[in-house]
Structure 1
Amino acid sequence: MAGSPTLSIVDYIVIAATLAVPLGMGVYLAIKGRKRNTKEEYLLGGRKLHVIPVTLSLFVTFMSSTSLIGMPAETFTTGFVFVLHVIAVALSYLIGIVTIVPIMHTLQVTSMYEYFHLRFQSPLLRLLVTVIGMFQKIVFTAVVLLSPAVSI
């Protein structure tokens, strides 16, 4: 190699813009909406969001290092078969848009745990499902954090 790689002025401008745009949007929206300080407004967007932004938010939440690193590796290993998995996940999102999201919106519930409690009237079931969900998220987070470390 000719020398150690360095960043040019264009690189610094791109990095600054990447950091400044979301920061500017956050500051603008915080100043604009400072009069609405309710928990429902902060966590649920005042329940005024349509189905598509909510669904896209859920989708992006599940995109992680495992998706970005694992999908190409899985496609390389299994070939075209992995496309069937992608199609199945897309169909499950569409089914969720049509079935689960409208039910939860109508019932004004914030999570599936709250829905289980309303549906089955069992605090024990809600606690059990919550513990299982927490365990699943802990394992998922461990994999998400380990994947980039292993690849690096």
Structure 2
Amino acid sequence: MWNRTYLYNFETGKSVYFHTYDYVVFGITLGLSASIGLFYAIKDRKKKSENEFLLAGRNMSVFPVALSLMSSFISAVTLLGTPAEMYRYNTMYWFIVFGFLISVILSNTIFIPVFYNLGITSVFEYVHLRFGTLVRIICCILYMIMMVIIACFLI
């Protein structure tokens, strides 16, 4: 057994606070993120269309689009929860990979080509083009109701 020199709140009951270097690293991280956002806000301030904002004018290569999709797919809850799931259920958690692969393959072959060819960004735009505004509004309301019901059951 090794001798630990650091303190954990759950082991000692003492509060552990940020030190100076923690604040420096945290500040640099926030500063870099804010400066990147500010740079692109100033650089692209003349671009006002929805297509340019959501899809970058459809001029991006595969790599940044893949990174964007991956970062939106993997949430903070996933990053925090996966180690706990692996600890609790052992390697059975890896079976979720099969579901992910199936969903990626189906999305890549069914949904993305349709959305790309129609020049739309969401299912609701597709419903609007296919069925009209009233059906789109009804679908949005039903989706929100379902999400609230699911959230209530999960909490």
Using structure 2 for the length normalisation, give the TM-score: 0.69
C-alpha RMSD of matched pairs (Å): 3.2
Which structure has the bigger radius of gyration? 2
Match of 1:31 in 2: 42
Superposed, 1:22-101 pairs within 5 Å as 22-50=33-61, 53-101=64-112
Partner of 1:149: none
From 128, 132, 142, give the equivalent of 2:142. Answer: 132
Which 4+ runs in 1 deviate beyond 6 A?
140-144
- Asked if 1:115 corresponds to 2:126, the answer is yes
In structure 1, stretches of 5+ residues that fail to align are: 147-152
Q: For residue 55 of structure 1, report the CA deviation from its aligned partner.
A: 5.0
Scaled by the length of structure 1, what TM-score is found? 0.70
Q: Which range moved further: 19-28 or 35-44?
A: 35-44
CA contact (8 A) 1:117 1:126 kept: yes
Identity in percent: 31
Number of paired residues?
A: 143
Structure 2 gap ranges (5+):
1-11
1:11 corresponds to 2:22: yes
CA contact (8 A) 1:66 1:143 kept: no
Amino acid at match of 1:9: T
Deviation larger for 69-78 or 134-143: 134-143
Amino acid at match of 2:18: L
Classify 1:52/1:92 alpha carbon distance in 2 versus 1 (closer, same or farther; 3 Å): farther
